[in-house]
Amino acid sequence: MSNESNLHGQPEIVTGHEVHHDEHHVHHHNETFITKYIFSQDHKTIGKQFLITGIIWAVIGGLFSVLFRLQLGFPDQTFPILETFFGRYAKGGQIQPEFYYALITMHGTVLVFFVLTAGLSGTFANLLIPLQCGARDMASPFLNMLSYWFFFMASVVMVSSLFVSTGPASGGWTSYPPLSALGDLNQGSKIGTDLWLVAMALFVVSSLLGGLNYISTILNMRTKGMSMTRLPLTIWALFFTAILGVLSFPVLLSGFILLLFDRNLGTSFYLSDIFISQTGQALPNEGGSAILYQHLFWFLGHPEVYIIILPSMGIVSEVLAVNSRKPIFGYMAMVGSLFAITILAFLVWAHHMFVTGLNPFLGSIFVLLTLLIAVPSAIKVFNWLTTLWRGNIRLTPATLFSIGFVSLFISGGLTGVFLGNSTIDIHLHDTKFIVAHFHIVMGVASFFGMFAGVYHWFPKMFGRYLNSTLGFIHFWVTMVGAYLIFWPMHYEGLAGVPRRYLDLSGWHNFNHFGDLNKMITVVSAIVFAVQLMFIFNFFYSIFKGRKVRHQNPWGANTLEWTTPLRPGHGNWTGEIPEVHRWAYDYGKDGREFIPQTEPVGKGESHH
């Protein structure tokens, strides 16, 4: 099947005319507002839908963190305004324990899954895979549309859980049973957790539909000449991301299904010998194992953190090469390390379970495999730095965010090496050190990759530029702020401050962290405000930004910049261009850049 028939939604009609590329795509299929912007099958529109939905979620999830930071920074102060907005959840202007746990749970779930998975992969896989591979659209535009709408339904269910009278799920983003399995233990474990599970199941379906399409498109729909080794690293990264998702999300789904049974039908997959003091009741469940849930959860959970980081790695590789006007250093090593990370990601999940009573010998194997991840990670860092080294760097906001990404990835990766040692982890597990580690290496770093991508491809998405001055402010405040927020948490964690506690006043030895916690809260609020500024920039620039006049504004080699300024459904008006070289011929033979579509000249040197 060719790209052409695919676009017209009649995949099986094999006729002679499918090879006449030329007359297609000039005509528009009488699109209405609904088919063009809402139930669109155009991958570019679907990408924007993911992005904008992700932005909305990021505001909600980010706001939640500012609220619970208020509690952590100012535990004995009251904020009457909170009571005005949240009623009994903030009685007397103080965040109530149930509300606090609901906030951290939703913050984690929303940012990990809805923003940094759907909002990040969903946006850039949709936008870039067809454009950079040279395809008219995805292998199945229809499944692709469904992928978005399942995400949308997941979002609706998750939002609705915020409004039920017993409150949303509040057992942490990992939702460990027995807490998450028994409504008697906790308000949030009532209907809120069922809604959470249903939303997550819909989310898994969305991810799977998306992932299937991404893999199939990358492997089957590349344009002529685009061999796998000529693909830009963005595509390689998105490819491995999709593989991780397709193989690990179904296992999470199994875990959730068993949890739903335990919750609602009385089975004992995870529950055993439980006496509930609140109700004075002994449960009949026997033989269940809560650890089983942790295995099923982290079998996805660990790959999930790489699902979040890999797309950012790809974006950063591309943006750094384009903006240092140099070929990416060690292309094959970059692909190889992505591959190694993907394989290892499936083999290390138990490092989240070192203190569950895991057999120490088994633990030591997981220590070894976990520490091995440092090798491909270090290769990548080395290659990014060498790409920048003596480059002709253009400091656009996208470049800055990419450099910031590298910095954060180094800082957070180093603390991973501490945690990967099971003996050290006994002390650090469930402390603020963990919070610091994963926010720096995953949370903030992936956001930086995403920002880099948005600043870089905004001209392709909307035909206008984002405002750079606001971009620079956005970068510097976020960069400094992120370190100010998360760096001190390492010290708190080393001193033993536990995560997930809303009030530390019971520990006198933690009192001296009081001012530090206030500082962190204030900085969080500032950083959050700056994100709102970015969002303003985003929407303002869609309509009023400086217009893009040049087809290839960054002087980049990849195929997306050979499309018209505002490409229609089908991307290229004529034939899809043929590819003759890899994506990284920058600064070669005295030329600043050589697009992939340019045939290799006679006297040209090899890269």
Partner 1 sequence: MEIAVEQTQQRKKIHPHKFTLWVAIGSIIMMFAGLTSAYIVKSNQAGWQTVGMPNVFWYSTGTILLSSLVMQMALRSFKHREMNQYRLLIAATFALGVTFVILQWLGFRQLWNSGVQFRGSSGGGQFLYVIAGLHALHVLGGVIALMVMSVKAFLGRTKLYGSVPVEMMATYWHFVDLLWIYLLIFFIWVG
Question: Is residue 438 involved in binding ligand HEM (CB under 6 A)?
Answer: yes
Among the residue ranges 42-50, 230-238, 257-265, 443-451, the one whose residues contact partner 1 (CB under 8 A) = 257-265
Q: How far is the CB of 395 from Cu ion (least distance, A)?
A: 33
Among the residue ranges 57-65, 141-149, 210-218, 411-419, the one whose residues contact ligand HEM (CB under 6 A) = 411-419
List the single partner that 442 binds among ligand HEM, Cu ion, partner 1, none, CB under 5 to 8 Å by kind: ligand HEM
Question: Is residue 246 involved in binding partner 1 (CB under 8 A)?
Answer: yes
List the single partner that 295 binds among Cu ion, ligand HEM, partner 1, none, CB under 5 to 8 Å by kind: partner 1
Q: How far is the CB of 567 from ligand HEM (least distance, A)?
A: 32
List the single partner that 233 binds among ligand HEM, Cu ion, partner 1, none, CB under 5 to 8 Å by kind: none
Q: How far apart are CA 397 and CA 58, in angstroms?
A: 20
Question: Is residue 65 involved in binding ligand HEM (CB under 6 A)?
Answer: no
**E strand or H helix at 407, and its extent?**
helix 397-419
Q: 596 vs 134, 223, 314, 525, 564, CA distance in Å?
A: 11, 12, 18, 44, 16
CB 401 within 8 A of CB 448: yes
Here the tokens at position 344 are: 């290892």
Among the residue ranges 61-69, 76-84, 383-391, 423-431, the one whose residues contact ligand HEM (CB under 6 A) = 423-431
Question: 52 vs 291, which CB is nearer to partner 1?
Answer: 291
At residue 547, the 3 state secondary structure works out as strand
Pattern of binders to partner 1 over 179-208, x per CB under 8 A? -----------------------------x
Question: 14 vs 365, which CB is nearer to partner 1?
Answer: 14
Q: How far apart are CA 246 and CA 112, in angstroms?
A: 17
CB 249 within 8 A of CB 204: yes
List the single partner that 374 binds among partner 1, ligand HEM, Cu ion, none, CB under 5 to 8 Å by kind: ligand HEM
Q: How far apart are CA 367 and CA 354, in angstroms?
A: 9
Question: Is residue 429 involved in binding Cu ion (CB under 5 A)?
Answer: no
The only residue of 86, 149, 261, 510 in contact with partner 1, by rule CB under 8 A: 261
CB 204 within 8 A of CB 253: yes
Here the tokens at position 52 are: 């904008």
Side-chain half-sphere exposure of 208, counting CA atoms within 13 A: 14
Question: Is residue 289 involved in binding partner 1 (CB under 8 A)?
Answer: yes
Q: How far is the CB of 23 from partner 1 (least distance, A)?
A: 15
Residue nearest to Cu ion (CB): 302
Question: 112 vs 127, which CB is nearer to ligand HEM?
Answer: 112
Q: How far apart are CA 171 and CA 101, in angstroms?
A: 7
List the single partner that 257 binds among ligand HEM, Cu ion, partner 1, none, CB under 5 to 8 Å by kind: partner 1
DSSP-assigned beta bridge partners for residue 498: 431
Q: Could you please report the per-residue DSSP string of 67-119?
A: HHHHHHH-TT---HHHHHHHGGGGGGGS--HHHHHHHHHHHHHIIIIIIIIII
List the single partner that 320 binds among ligand HEM, Cu ion, partner 1, none, CB under 5 to 8 Å by kind: none
Angle made by CA atoms 27, 48, 62, in degrees to the nearest 5:
170
Q: How far apart are CA 592 and CA 600, in angstroms?
A: 15
Question: 103 vs 461, which CB is nearer to ligand HEM?
Answer: 103
Question: Is residue 302 involved in binding Cu ion (CB under 5 A)?
Answer: yes
Angle made by CA atoms 466, 407, 309, in degrees to the nearest 5:
75
Interacting positions 299-318 with partner 1 (CB under 8 A): 299
What letter represents residue 395's amino acid?
L
How many helices (H) does the chain have, and how many strands (E)? 19, 4
Q: 340 vs 12, 374, 377, CA distance in Å?
A: 38, 11, 9
Pattern of binders to ligand HEM over 360-379, x per CB under 6 A? ----------x--xx--x--
> Which residues sit at the interface with ligand HEM, rule CB under 6 A?
305, 308-309, 351-352, 370, 373-374, 377, 413, 416-417, 419-420, 425, 428-429, 434, 437-438, 441-442
Contact residues toward partner 1 (CB under 8 A) are 1-2, 6, 11-14, 16, 19, 139-140, 143, 208, 211-213, 215-217, 219-221, 246-251, 253-255, 257-258, 261, 265-269, 272, 284-289, 292, 295-296, 299
